[in-house]
Structure 1
Amino acid sequence: MSVVGIDFGAQSTKIGVARNKGIDIITNEVSNRSTPTLVGFGTTCRAIGEAAKTQETSNLKNTVANIKRLIGRSFNDPDVQIEQEYNTAAICDVNGQAGVEVSFRQKKEKFSATQLVAMYLAKIRDITSAELNLPVSDVTISVPAWFTDVQRRAMLDAGEIAGLKVLRLINDTTATALGYGITKLDLPGPEEKPRRVMFVDIGHSDYTASIVEFRKGELNVKATACDRHFGGRNFDRALTEHFANEFKEKFKIDVRTNAKAWARTLAAAEKMKKVLSANPAAPMSIESLMEDVDVRTIVKREELEAMVQPVLDRVTGPIEQVLAEAKMKPEDIDSIEMVGGCTRVPAVKDAIAKFFGKSLSFTLNQDEAIARGCAFSCAILSPVFRVRDFSVHDIVNYPIEFTWEQSADIPDEDTSLTVFGRGNIMPSTKILTFYRKQPFDLEARYANPEGLPGKTNPWVGRFSVKGVTADANDDFMICKLKARLNLHGILNVESGYYVEDMEVEEPVEDADAMDTDAKGDEQPKKTRKVKKQVRKGDLPISAGTSSTDSSVKESWIESEKTMYADDKRIAETDEMKNHLESTIYEEDDKVLGQYQELYDLIKGEPAEVEQKKKELEQSLAEYRKTLESLKDWLYDESEEGGEAATLEAYKAKVKEIETLNKPYRDALMEERLRIQEEEFAKKRAEEEAKRQAEEQAKRAAAAAMNFEERNETVMTDAPAEGDKQ
């Protein structure tokens, strides 16, 4: 089982996985540690992530960005209208939700933001699965702290559509705090003063500041404040507007009238912003930007800061707000941890450091801290990993109240109650008590609609309590409802039951009483009667929330499965087409080499050799002619040509080439085997001759030795001269 944390960003996404006794940030199919958060639609299939980034400029109207900032929002929300400025695809209404209208497979299609996020998460799932060689299911996903109930429910729906089990939606800065605290071994103990850390996270499009208190084994979020429209893209936009004005005056071209020219200028502005974070000045040059005009310019850091001064004036806003909510002063903060790409901007760092009057801390990886925290969170919730005990106590950012109709039998009854106030710890459960004689409804709403992002509907859910009746004495039923704000920050009324006031006996604790009498016999323990509420039965509850309707969700799941299967088949078809193309050219070169080798290997009588070579040349000509016809078919754009062929057709052509080449391979193999056998026989003959020569030499040597021994014997046995016989 895999443990995966996803930092789902507006511009790019990072993936953390638990392995090798730590957290790794994995790379995608092109070895990048972050994947562009883009979904593109083409004439045949979708392009997601890196593929969408590659074709973004050529397919602007059908490439969707900032999908994170669209999910769970209505089309009429002012924030959504702002997103149109940062999106080249047309944002539209899809069943009351924000979505996009694109051209997909030669026709107009509408997709909701929930579907778009699901498409993207499916791609992230595939990237992770390919890296781990494991199926991916359990994940933790980061979301901004300002996400409302409807946005969080939409994220869970998107995860379900993508085939993922979301163990937790965790706030960005809470994930960062978890990654920071769980690795620290020097945190203060339970009785000591906590370590107070402010996490400042400024990313591509939003800015969050959180104050977190750390003790050994736990973190407590004390307060969080956000600016939803402060991020790196504001700097990019300001630079692009500056260039548009300069190019109009200097080069007589207006990039605002050309979408591709604007997109290229925006990309160049983003690169320049990064250069200016480390250098006092940066050049910029774009060839043939528009109307064959090359542009070049140079910008100093001071000029950029002047362009974005209205944005920089807001840099301390969230910090001041979070300190006020936590009832703290700057000197109460022990450390200021900076994360997010935009915290590299010198003007931002200088303004925050000046506010606190001390240096900032950059101990965390600014780009990957959230992904690491998400992976730690997933590991804590996963049963297959052992992680150091660490409790995470996040807080409610928007107060939630329940409202209901007044009971006719209780004229002075209140009709609303703030159940989860701002700063309330979550997850959290509250028990609500009602006195009723018949079924009733209650609604959950955000108590302060003006504090919600954009024009979000404050309605959270409606809950109908069934099975309520008066008792035998026509008295009230005491109804208890369990309202819970869960790990994801989502509200539900999980269960309902009714109780009765009853007298029960309970033992009396009396330290001086004796349990035995004078004879040593045990005396009965003293008891007393007390009134208690005893649970008597359950009350059915039907809930209406902003979650996607089950029938709609099922249709989206089926649609995603179909599109995914089609994309996979098209990718396999393209891969097989490329394989066929490379095979054709490889075989063309290979067959020439095989032909030459066979030509040189042919042996025999002159007439026989000439005939074999003639047949070989004729066979080669036919084979190469077949390869040429395959090339013509492959590049034929007609309906029967290779450009429109199916996966099976490409496979058949590859098989055809293999069949065509078989006689050459077989003939070449036979010739090689024949030569090997001849060489082997020759070698064996040489070895046999050598062995026989060596044996003959040994025999000759042995014979010579025997001859000498016989001569010596004759000489020794012969009588000396003068001896008598």
Structure 2
Amino acid sequence: MSVVGIDLGAYTCYEAVARDGGIETVANEYSDRCTPAYVSLTNKQRFIGVSAKQQNVTNFKNTISSFKRLIGRRYNDAHVQREKQFVPYAITEGPHGSTDILVQYMGEQQRFSPEQIVAMLLTKMKETGEAALKTKVVDVVVSVPSFYTDRERRAMLDACQISGLNCLRLMNDTTAVALAYGIYKKDLPEPNDKPRHVVFVDMGYTSLQICAVAFNKGKLKMLGVSSDPYLGGRDFDRFLVEHFAEDFKKRYNIDALSKPKALLRLATECEKLKKLMSANTQSIPLNIECFMDDKDVSGRMDRETFEGMTSGLIKQAEVAMKRILEYTKLRPDDIYSVEIVGGASRMPCIKSMVQSIFGKEPSTTLNADEAVSRGCALQCAILSPTFRVRDFSITDCQPYSLSLRWQGGIEEDCDLELFPMFSPIPASKMLTFFKKEPFQLEARYTYPNMVPFPEALVGVFKIDKVTPQANGESSKVKVKVRTNIHGIFNVSSASMVEKGDDHQEEGAEENMETDDGPKPENSDNSLASEEDSAVESKSGESNETPMQTEPDASNPEQTNQENSTGEVKKEAVAAKKKKKTIKMIDLPVESIVPQLNRSEINLLLEKENQMIMQDKLEKERADAKNAVEEYVYEIRDKLYGDYEQYTKDSEREPLSQLLNQTEDWLYDEGEDQSRQVYIDKLASLKKLGQPISDRYKEALERPAAFEALGTALQQVRKCSAQIEQKDEKYSHLEPADVEKLNKCLKQKTDWYEKHMNLQGKTPLHEPPVVTASQIHTEKQLLDSVCNPILNKPKPKPQPPPEEKKPDPKANEVKAEDQPQSPDDKAAMDLD
């Protein structure tokens, strides 16, 4: 399983992977770790990332950027209308009021939803990850802004599915940064000690996000988030663009705002100027050649003037930063440090604002560009079963308060706040209703004015097949609602409690169940709720099933009391022994939420795969065309240079003419041909040019091959001479081996001298008598025969036979056997 984290920004993207025991940000095919969030469409293929941004000026109507800002929103949304002024491509209304992007693709005008464009970018990031990891990428964690609403998060999950990715978690940018910061800290307070409060400020290209986090050893808890979706680096760029456009209009009488190409060029230069001013206090020049009407333009700007122009934006940032202190009730003295990330956070005015509000020098220990992607990769590693990661608990928070509304019959609609602002996620609650018929629940944002989205409705959930009890009473319906790991609200399940026939006191009516008090009467639409833990536990679910409701007759105290009085009626005893029978029935839940269904996802996935295949085919076609063009230029340059002495006049002229004709064809009717046409054209060129190339190549390689074979022959000849001189080194060789060695040496020497002489007499423009590969083959044959003989080891000498030690007992003579006198000795000799 791959571990991949993707920071999908509005302007740039970064991708981090778990590899070699750590987290690494991978580079794309341009060896750049930053992939621009651009998609450019043409009549033949798509360009994504760096190649797409390169067409931002030349193909501006079909080059799409900042599309992440449109995902999950309707066309009449004020947010979408605001975005139209920042982009040069056409944004139009789609079916049912959706937002569509209108571009020219495959020779016709086509519509793409923002989800499809995001999926294209994710496909590119997927390919980058697969190239780095050398394996298939499926499971990922993708970042989203903390201010994203439920609808935008659902749309992002749809985009992941369209690109063929399984998103394990949609992670808030701020949470990812906090994880990347905290998981490596070894000096955090113990779990039971006072937490360390750290504020993270993330100003990117289009938005500002601030969060306060409480850190303890092995865990982090999000205390609150504050954001401004309409304040980012491009807003500062916009002031520079408008300033210089007005300046050029006065001094050069040209209107840059009226020409999209000129405006894009000016925006690019203003972005560079802003970055230079962040590092310099002196005045910085701006120069653009042939800007409009063949006029060169120039201007200057310094940091002080720039900050004066953008004072309103700086004030806007100040409001968002102060809001986090208000939300979390933190004082500057309670904050341990302030970490800044994001490209626009490098501006000195933002750093000064951070220091003035929080009373802390902004810290830059994190990589401002890559911190989010690294945090996402760490979260993916935590969720992956194949990687071991340091234990670290992450408690995120719900950015907006969520409420639930249901129909209350004759009275007004009932409303309940389920998840307050900044409540932990994931989280779930169990709700109990008493209903006689199917009903529906509406999830809404409690305070719509605090949500940067025009619609307060999150979704409608219909609970079906609710029926009254057999005795006509309302049925108890238990509904589980949940905010999942992605920050998306849903009704996860619903069940109805069905009671069997049992005894009930007269006049009692069960209408509502609560956890801490008796059931009120005459309340057909009452509701009770009980909170679950962030992760559903078995113990919590077991409490949902009501236990025995009547007293147990086996109670010893009751039994003793009854025996002492002796006045127990038979009817009372029977009632005490009677038990209620309860059955839980699962109810179908129909979710009406703004999300694509499975069939729509499959259709868009199929279309995405078709576009991927088209891109692949077009790349192969372009490669085939480039191969023809490259061959034409290469051979033509060498034909009267390096190849001249290897070419006959009868070969050179026809080949030269064919090369010129092919070049003219490439820029005329051969501009747009099929891949096979280019393959055939290259084959016809190589039919004439390849023999020349081969002769040139052989002439370069053959001398070295002859030299290697000559050296090998010389070494074998030297060894043969030593054998003839009875050298001790080769004294162990058998005569048959020596004969075989000499025979091979003579054959290869004759072959070497013959072919070397023949090749020396052959002109360079004629086919060679012998090729370098043939010479190498002869050398290998020589080595295979001679080396085993020459390297044959000597047999080990036989060890001398061991001498038997004389047995001392063998020389001993018994006393009775020894001669006692000379006469006895003489007698023994005679015997």
TM-score, L = length of structure 2: 0.74
Aligned to 2:54: 54
Aligned to 2:217: 216
Q: Secondary structure at the match of 2:154?
A: helix
Q: Secondary structure at the match of 1:134?
A: coil
CA distance in 2 between counterparts of 1:20 and 1:35 reads 23
1:176-575 aligned at under 5 Å gives the runs 176-280=177-281, 281-407=283-409, 415-455=414-454, 457-500=455-498, 502-503=549-550, 536-575=584-623
Q: Does 1:625 align with 2:657?
A: yes
CA distance in 2 between counterparts of 1:474 and 1:489 reads 40
Q: Secondary structure at the match of 1:43?
A: coil
Give 1:309 deviation, angstroms: 0.7
Q: Secondary structure at the match of 1:542?
A: strand
Aligned to 2:73: 73
Paired letter, 1:126: E
Paired letter, 1:656: S
Aligned to 2:32: 32
CA distance in 2 between counterparts of 1:620 and 1:20 reads 55
Give 1:210 deviation, angstroms: 0.6
CA distance in 2 between counterparts of 1:333 and 1:259 reads 46
Give 1:357 deviation, angstroms: 2.4
Give 1:596 deviation, angstroms: 5.0
Give 1:97 deviation, angstroms: 2.0
Q: Secondary structure at the match of 2:17?
A: strand
Is the 1:97–1:113 Cα contact (8 Å) retained in structure 2? no
Is the 1:499–1:533 Cα contact (8 Å) retained in structure 2? no
Gaps of 5+ in 2: 500-548, 558-575, 727-831
Give 1:660 deviation, angstroms: 3.6
Give 1:180 deviation, angstroms: 0.6
CA gap of 1:499–1:531, structure 2 versus 1, over 3 A, is farther
Is the 2:199–2:212 Cα contact (8 Å) retained in structure 1? yes
Give 1:104 deviation, angstroms: 2.4
Q: Secondary structure at the match of 1:563?
A: helix
Match of 2:672 among 637, 641, 644: 644
> Percent of aligned positions with the same letter in both sequences?
40
Q: Secondary structure at the match of 1:653?
A: helix
Paired letter, 2:16: G
Is the 1:204–1:231 Cα contact (8 Å) retained in structure 2? yes
Is the 2:26–2:129 Cα contact (8 Å) retained in structure 1? yes
CA gap of 1:216–1:669, structure 2 versus 1, over 3 A, is closer
CA distance in 1 between counterparts of 2:16 and 2:705 reads 59
Is the 2:341–2:366 Cα contact (8 Å) retained in structure 1? yes
Aligned to 1:88: 88
Aligned to 1:13: 13
Q: Deviations over 1:534-568 (max 9, x none)?
A: 65221111211110244433332222222221122
Q: Secondary structure at the match of 1:277?
A: helix
Aligned to 2:170: 169
Paired letter, 2:649: E
Paired letter, 1:655: A
Q: Give the RMSD, CA atoms, in angstroms.
A: 3.3
CA distance in 1 between counterparts of 2:433 and 2:722 reads 114
CA gap of 1:192–1:676, structure 2 versus 1, over 3 A, is closer
Give 1:315 deviation, angstroms: 2.1
Give 1:674 deviation, angstroms: 11
Please, which moves more after superposition, 23-32 or 371-380? 23-32
Is the 1:93–1:99 Cα contact (8 Å) retained in structure 2? yes
Q: Deviations over 1:685-723 (max 9, x none)?
A: 99999999999999xxxxxxxxxxxxxxxxxxxxxxxxx
Aligned to 1:579: 627
Give 1:154 deviation, angstroms: 0.4
CA distance in 2 between counterparts of 1:696 and 1:188 reads 86
Is the 1:504–1:530 Cα contact (8 Å) retained in structure 2? no
CA distance in 1 between counterparts of 2:701 and 2:434 reads 97
CA distance in 1 between counterparts of 2:173 and 2:197 reads 18
Aligned to 1:610: none
Give 1:213 deviation, angstroms: 0.4
CA distance in 1 between counterparts of 2:453 and 2:705 reads 85
CA distance in 2 between counterparts of 1:468 and 1:533 reads 19
Is the 1:315–1:352 Cα contact (8 Å) retained in structure 2? no
Q: Secondary structure at the match of 1:263?
A: helix
Q: Deviations over 1:575-611 (max 9, x none)?
A: 2211121123333456667865557xxxxxxxxxxxx
Q: Secondary structure at the match of 2:59?
A: helix
Paired letter, 1:23: I
Paired letter, 1:424: S
Q: Secondary structure at the match of 2:279?
A: coil
TM-score, L = length of structure 1: 0.84
Q: Secondary structure at the match of 1:125?
A: helix
Q: Secondary structure at the match of 1:57?
A: coil
Between structures 1 and 2, the one with greater strand share? 1
CA gap of 1:635–1:532, structure 2 versus 1, over 3 A, is farther
CA distance in 2 between counterparts of 1:185 and 1:333 reads 18
Q: Secondary structure at the match of 1:487?
A: coil
Aligned to 2:101: 100
Please, which moves more after superposition, 396-405 or 530-539? 530-539
Paired letter, 1:452: V
Paired letter, 2:633: Y
Give 1:85 deviation, angstroms: 1.5
CA distance in 2 between counterparts of 1:686 and 1:326 reads 88
Paired letter, 1:39: V
Please, which moves more after superposition, 253-262 or 668-677? 668-677
CA distance in 2 between counterparts of 1:531 and 1:322 reads 56
Aligned to 1:45: 45
Is the 2:407–2:413 Cα contact (8 Å) retained in structure 1? no
Aligned to 1:518: none
Is the 2:398–2:423 Cα contact (8 Å) retained in structure 1? yes
Give 1:509 deviation, angstroms: 13
CA distance in 2 between counterparts of 1:388 and 1:530 reads 55
Is the 1:506–1:530 Cα contact (8 Å) retained in structure 2? no
Is the 2:337–2:360 Cα contact (8 Å) retained in structure 1? no
CA distance in 1 between counterparts of 2:86 and 2:719 reads 88
Is the 2:354–2:360 Cα contact (8 Å) retained in structure 1? no
Gaps of 5+ in 1: 511-527, 600-615, 699-725
CA distance in 2 between counterparts of 1:571 and 1:326 reads 53
Paired letter, 1:196: H
Q: Deviations over 1:60-114 (max 9, x none)?
A: 2222211111101111111111111111112111222222212223432221111
Is the 2:498–2:585 Cα contact (8 Å) retained in structure 1? no
Is the 1:115–1:556 Cα contact (8 Å) retained in structure 2? yes
CA gap of 1:580–1:533, structure 2 versus 1, over 3 A, is farther
Is the 2:643–2:693 Cα contact (8 Å) retained in structure 1? no
Is the 2:403–2:415 Cα contact (8 Å) retained in structure 1? yes
Is the 1:433–1:478 Cα contact (8 Å) retained in structure 2? yes
Aligned to 2:513: none
Aligned to 2:129: 128
Give 1:3 deviation, angstroms: 0.9
Aligned to 2:681: 653
- Count of paired positions: 657
Aligned to 2:23: 23
CA distance in 2 between counterparts of 1:351 and 1:625 reads 70
Is the 1:100–1:110 Cα contact (8 Å) retained in structure 2? yes
Is the 1:7–1:14 Cα contact (8 Å) retained in structure 2? yes
Q: Secondary structure at the match of 2:10?
A: coil
